[in-house]
Structure 1
Amino acid sequence: MVSAATNKSVDVTRGRLIPGTYLTENFKNLVNSQNIGRALGNSFKYAIILTLVSLVICSLAGYGFEIFHDKGKDIVMNIILLAMMVPFVATLIPLFQMFSKAGWLNSTIGFILPTLSTPFLIMMFRQSARSFPHDIIEAARIDGLSELRIFFQMFIPTMKSTYAAAMTITFMNAWNSYLWPKVIMTDEKSMTMPMVVANLTQGYVTDYGMLMLAVLICTLPTAVIFFCLQKSFAEGITGAVK
């Protein structure tokens, strides 16, 4: 992909793997054909907002499911997990109709709301909350700390690795999301990077050098985040608590 981004389309189709000198021309053609700056800004905005809000909501839910005792919480959790069996395509048309009537087309809330809270993240935070020392919670309650202060001042700092893993997964899913933005974002000003990459394959002739450069630009943010947080990501997935 990196090599193809520096070559002409003809060289890419011929299978050339040696880096070329056509990177600047590919970048100029890409900028002239698509609004890359706006698409990058939209992707970052949607992905960051979705990641931050999703982490707060899902971690609160997972923490509450594990820490607070109620007879019906396991039943509710099982119902939430059943939602993982429903494919997103099955709810695509009803969601579009609801969001269209609500006036949320081409908006940030329209992008983030369907995936704001996922059963996988709730289950993940609930599993991590099981390793959180309950004695600390009881001591904090005796000292007069409210439940929200216990969560924000004690639970979040302790579960940094879990938050890093959840942040990596959520950001990558939001950044690479294509189907829902393609449906809900009908305006060119709201386009994201995956939509721009898909547009480059439309038409009679595909410039593969320019296409590979767009794919490379689209891949870099998630690759950087994953490589920077890979240690915490592994610890968060395994549920390690220090």
Structure 2
Amino acid sequence: MTKKVLRTFQYIFLSICAFVSIFPFFWMIIAATNKSVDVTKGTLMPGSYFMENLKAVLSSDLQYTTAFKNSLIISVVTTILAMIVSSAAGYAFVIYRSKSRERVFNIILLSMMVPFAALMVPLFRLFSKFNSVPLLKTIALNTPGAVIVIGISTAFLIFFFRQNTESFPKELIEAARIDGVGELGIFFKIFMPTMKSTYAAAIIVTFMNSWNNYLWPLIALQSPERRTLPLVISAMGSSYTPDYGMMMTAVVLATVPTALIFFLMQKQFVAGMTGSVKG
């Protein structure tokens, strides 16, 4: 009897948690189908105004489609480069041993303690000087490169790949070296396919962070045609009379890519976060 009561309370608690988690998304979708007036009234019933809101978003002076394309390019490129650079760093910290290895890794971990707000001014001054250097103009201010290069290598990703590489079977590396496979071949042909669950988890985290990034793009991307989705959605809400129906439609469209990636890779994501080697 006690077990049944306990299980009942567990289901009730989990149901409440699920409702609290899902309700914002439910309300967002409902709001996207209603007029701004209905949204401010707090209606919870689906409306028939979604197509009008969608047309308003696509025809907005804020260039939503351009911002969507900018966010997609920045997020995809950042994710691809981050997977190569950060995973190579995490791999090297485990496979190649040296006396200063732990010291360097500890310094990287300490960098996680520094808030990004403390780095904004130094980064802005640094990237503002790249315009005068021909080889660095692609990552100067007001270019997608300025946003991409910041997310390529992060302390969290290096730490994440290092911890998961600890479970990588070292026998595969030794066997590959005996067969004459080079170090790059081992990394790209053996390590990466074997650790695909870890890569899946890292891809989801990196893509979502890049897609939702607001603070640094706000500083680095100064032209309207360079803005990303978070900047455009923020601008929608900063008007004197914001159209909440249009805003929620814009948010729904912006949520689709991240939700799609997560649902397609959720099994690998769970396996990667739990440290599984096989995907």
Structure-2-length-normalised TM-score: 0.85
| Selected match of 1:15 from 33, 42, 47 | 42
Deviation string for 1:29-75 (max 9, x for gaps)?
A: 22222312111100000000000001100010000000111111011
| Selected match of 1:192 from 222, 225, 228 | 228
Deviation at 1:132, TM superposition (A): 1.0
Deviation string for 1:89-123 (max 9, x for gaps)?
A: 10101101111111211212101112210111111
Which of structure 1's runs of 4+ aligned residues deviate more than 6 A? none
CA distance in 1, matches of 2:239, 2:193: 51
Number of aligned residue pairs: give it.
242
Query: Cα RMSD over matched residues?
Result: 0.9
After TM superposition, the structure 1 = structure 2 runs for residues 29-178 of structure 1, keeping only pairs within 5 Å, are 29-33=56-60, 34-103=62-131, 104-178=140-214
Matched AA of 1:129: T
- Percent identity among equivalent residues? 51
Deviation at 1:163, TM superposition (A): 0.3
Cross-structure match for 2:246: 210
| Pairing 1:4–2:28 present | no
Residue 217 of structure 1 aligns to a residue whose secondary structure is helix
**Larger Rg, first or second structure (1 or 2):** 2
Deviation string for 1:141-178 (max 9, x for gaps)?
A: 11111111001110000000000000000000000000
Matched AA of 1:102: F
Tell me if the contact between 2:67 and 2:229 (Cα under 8 Å) persists in the aligned partners.
yes
Tell me if the contact between 2:144 and 2:226 (Cα under 8 Å) persists in the aligned partners.
no
Matched AA of 1:158: T
Greater length-normalized contact order (CA 8 Å, ≥ 6 residues apart): 1
Residue 3 of structure 1 aligns to a residue whose secondary structure is helix
CA distance in 2, matches of 1:239, 1:74: 21
Gaps of 5+ in 1: none
Deviation at 1:14, TM superposition (A): 0.8
Matched AA of 2:266: Q
